[in-house]
Structure 1
């Protein structure tokens, strides 16, 4: 099917047919079928089932059925803007002290300034993307139950493989529900058990948290997921444990009850799973990061290929939007810059160690280091973190220079090391202060930053900013540390150049009015302040 969804109502309960099999997949699951068939045909063939699984992964990277534009998955916004990774990155980064996106498209300026409302198309696109992926996962899970496999004559090793695929789909769905919890709090909820054609129920933030918690624990116990690092870019046990660490580290925010000991428990599983730091920080964000030592550090990449994943979102956006003025397209391995994203001055100011090589990814030539004008690309430090060149300086595979090969590292090892340290400092059991300091200094040593002799929670927040900047973590981190809405400001926060405190309700985005109108179960359920 080539369905387009504009409301969560359709996304959650009407994906009753075959998922579209068009477009690209992860680099380990690249298969491009040239047909469209119904579920009874496709789900009788394990090879085609694998292709549908590949589409679940690809939905984080691509924006539609053809690529790069022309048949979008969701409507109501330009297809390039609608991309999952692009929208998630924007809400996590340009609403913070790390990044600014100076374009005047639609209501984008209100996202930069924390002045969005329930009709903001960029907030709505993020919401729709999350629930679109949940719907696709629900349908895949529905069609791959043991009963369905038996009815369709799939058994033995083939059935075992499909059960692993099904576990991966459940993990991807849990990841999306975590994004929903983090960004929107409560919201519509459905699983594969929901009856087709019914309205999704509303669940609170705590209720969806409880579901995700239970589902992740079940996946851990069932043992169907691949072992960590078995196949690059698959949702394996390492991804599961990292997501559990994130869920528990933020539990105090989500539910009012801390779970720091649980965060340490699952961080330890990741830290003992064989991941290793890449010798080069810069190589983590280049076009061959799926082949160099970077792949041993990346836990969950969103994969891109310049000839197979053609989109104006994702890494195409992250590479092109940061290029302009003195940062040349050829240095980034592309054919032209979009002159959009820059760093607010708060970010470079974190780098207090003169020897810290992560500073080398900031470009200040002819730039005003302070963001004095949102729309001026000359206003703010340029960032050369993501590039479409390999570690040996070769441009990516797209000979026209449009679409990058660079994978996006959604989860990687230093994030877990820093989460472990934070959970220890917040009082969780099962770790030690000395080990926490060791992990933090290992992250710093890779970039030649001066080692710390003591460790405070503020050190953790600052180190997360230095190590993980522009990787989609900052909004969640600032909220967890109580610095998002009040007491700490950055340029144009609240719509004024110096920045100001904003309403505490800004820690959540609103449920889009389009969905509240479409689903009577959401009536009266809008988040406070909207």
Structure 2
């Protein structure tokens, strides 16, 4: 039933349309054999249009859903007639999608439109070096997601005849293309006064991400096994160190959730790149991040949808701050906690809430993907609203900056690269880095560190931020059974199919193996 279209005008999904990215008018279609476009002159408004294409990344569907729902940390159970949505969420969690899956198709359109719009700006003779550098970073981000999700990347030259079919880069070639874009961006960008504008550090953080995953993207067999080259791991470390040298910091002890609060752009020193939202302009309104799981009777009223898996929740150290708890001006005003919501839920005035039928609103760990009640499943609050003094919430313009890249991720990428054989000129150990992230959160310091613990730590720090699928694939754990998916899936599931309509319209695209 919901919630594919009940949200803040960021993405409109309609299976009957060929290329749908947002509720705003689009100036091109890039998924087929033809392209319809308006002229681009390299102006600031053209670059702004590329940034605007990022807004769809903050939706609870599409890119975010494809990166989270197939993993061990999220599922979207059907509750009576709610959240059925023709099985779109269930198919993601059970790895049973096909080339006609609506969100796989819509994500393809969104991301490739971002690549094309950025290319228009880059190719314009009127674009300044700064504009080209920002557009190169944005193109690299969009193409990175295409490569990560689909394993190949179509590319259209804006100057090519509209009748030409876009050429297609292999996963390996597209990875090289992305690296070249990011190296250009890093060379030509400086520091930025706003996390909403591409900077040298954002290019370096994404370069670290690409080099860390290069073994996955260069593998001869999809899904592994992967061989991580020392030179690539050394590159991860180099770029991670450059980000650190730019002055970014981890949140201090007791302040983990400050990075996701309504005033995170003012208080956090760890946000490298994201989308700035204000009380009058919230293009990437984060309200879906709490509404997608909150119950109808909570404040604010939620959509009663997504949950985490009990096994994921139970893996946390009970003393770990990242597991959640009270937050000033949130819990005391409307009863809502941060992190994982389990057990009796409360509203303003610490009133115990009830379900719609009148029984206590108690979130339980048990959940059934196909037939859940409205109170089953542990909910997750990573971003959260700023209630008024009376506990009421008007989150039409939530002011939380939506984060793509942050310093804690960079630190953990460096630790993983060292663990995989990279050398740090600064002499840090992987264990020391990981404990430097863990211990301020109240989690017990680790005595040793292996790949299993490294993957777990990335989950503890980065849950619900859109990186879990990427991590699980790199650690060769993506296909393992999880709750509500009892059997191991095939390695071909580590990439999604190319949408059927794209394959049909561009003969240069070849369907991925297994589909």
C-alpha separation between the residues in 2 aligned to 1:306 and 1:512? Answer: 37
RMSD between superposed Cα atoms in Å: 2.6
C-alpha separation between the residues in 2 aligned to 1:122 and 1:248? Answer: 27
Could you tell me whether the CA contact under 8 Å between 2:294 and 2:302 is conserved in 1? yes
C-alpha separation between the residues in 1 aligned to 2:395 and 2:25? Answer: 29
SS in 2 for 1:418: helix
C-alpha separation between the residues in 1 aligned to 2:288 and 2:439? Answer: 31
For residues 118-267 of structure 1, what are the structure 2 equivalents within 5 Å? 118-143=99-124, 145=125, 148=126, 162-192=128-158, 194-220=160-186, 223-227=187-191, 229-256=192-219, 258=228, 259-267=232-240
Q: Which residue of 2 aligns with 1:15?
A: 37
C-alpha separation between the residues in 2 aligned to 1:291 and 1:240? Answer: 22
The runs of 5 or more residues in structure 1 that have no matched partner are 19-38, 44-48, 63-81, 150-161, 494-498
For residues 82-97 of structure 1, what are the structure 2 equivalents within 5 Å? 86-97=61-72
Name the TM-score, length of structure 2 as normaliser.
0.80
Could you tell me whether the CA contact under 8 Å between 2:74 and 2:306 is conserved in 1? yes
The equivalent position to 1:299 in structure 2, one of 235, 256, 272, is 272
The runs of 5 or more residues in structure 2 that have no matched partner are 1-23, 78-82, 220-226, 325-338, 344-361
Could you tell me whether the CA contact under 8 Å between 2:195 and 2:276 is conserved in 1? no
The equivalent position to 1:367 in structure 2, one of 363, 377, 393, is 363
Could you tell me whether the CA contact under 8 Å between 2:75 and 2:307 is conserved in 1? yes
The equivalent position to 2:288 in structure 1, one of 312, 317, 332, is 317
Could you tell me whether the CA contact under 8 Å between 2:143 and 2:153 is conserved in 1? no
Q: Please report how far the alpha carbon of residue 303 of structure 1 lies from its aligned counterpart in structure 2 after TM superposition.
A: 2.8
Name the TM-score, length of structure 1 as normaliser.
0.77
C-alpha separation between the residues in 2 aligned to 1:10 and 1:274? Answer: 46
The one-character-per-residue Cα deviations of 1:463-493 (angstroms, maximum 9, x if unpaired) are 10000000001001000001111xx321222
C-alpha separation between the residues in 2 aligned to 1:83 and 1:14? Answer: 26
Indicate yes or no: 2:435 matched with 1:450. Answer: no
Q: Which residue of 1 aligns with 2:11?
A: none
Q: Which residue of 2 aligns with 1:354?
A: 318
Q: Which residue of 1 aligns with 2:349?
A: none
Residues 343 and 412 of structure 1: is their aligned pair in 2 closer, same or farther, counting only changes over 3 Å? same
Residues 378 and 168 of structure 1: is their aligned pair in 2 closer, same or farther, counting only changes over 3 Å? same
Q: Please report how far the alpha carbon of residue 204 of structure 1 lies from its aligned counterpart in structure 2 after TM superposition.
A: 0.9
The equivalent position to 1:526 in structure 2, one of 494, 511, 515, is 511
Could you tell me whether the CA contact under 8 Å between 2:30 and 2:116 is conserved in 1? no
C-alpha separation between the residues in 2 aligned to 1:287 and 1:52? Answer: 29
The equivalent position to 1:308 in structure 2, one of 277, 281, 288, is 281
For residues 99-118 of structure 1, what are the structure 2 equivalents within 5 Å? 99-102=74-77, 103-108=83-88, 109-118=90-99
- The count of residues paired between Structure 1 and Structure 2 equals 441
Q: Which residue of 2 aligns with 1:158?
A: none
C-alpha separation between the residues in 1 aligned to 2:60 and 2:207? Answer: 20
Could you tell me whether the CA contact under 8 Å between 2:287 and 2:395 is conserved in 1? no
The equivalent position to 2:463 in structure 1, one of 443, 465, 469, is 469
For residues 483-522 of structure 1, what are the structure 2 equivalents within 5 Å? 483-485=477-479, 488-493=480-485, 499-522=486-509
The equivalent position to 2:250 in structure 1, one of 265, 277, 290, is 277
Residues 305 and 374 of structure 1: is their aligned pair in 2 closer, same or farther, counting only changes over 3 Å? farther
The one-character-per-residue Cα deviations of 1:429-488 (angstroms, maximum 9, x if unpaired) are 235775322221121122111112222121111110000000001001000001111xx3
Residues 394 and 123 of structure 1: is their aligned pair in 2 closer, same or farther, counting only changes over 3 Å? farther
Indicate yes or no: 2:381 matched with 1:384. Answer: yes
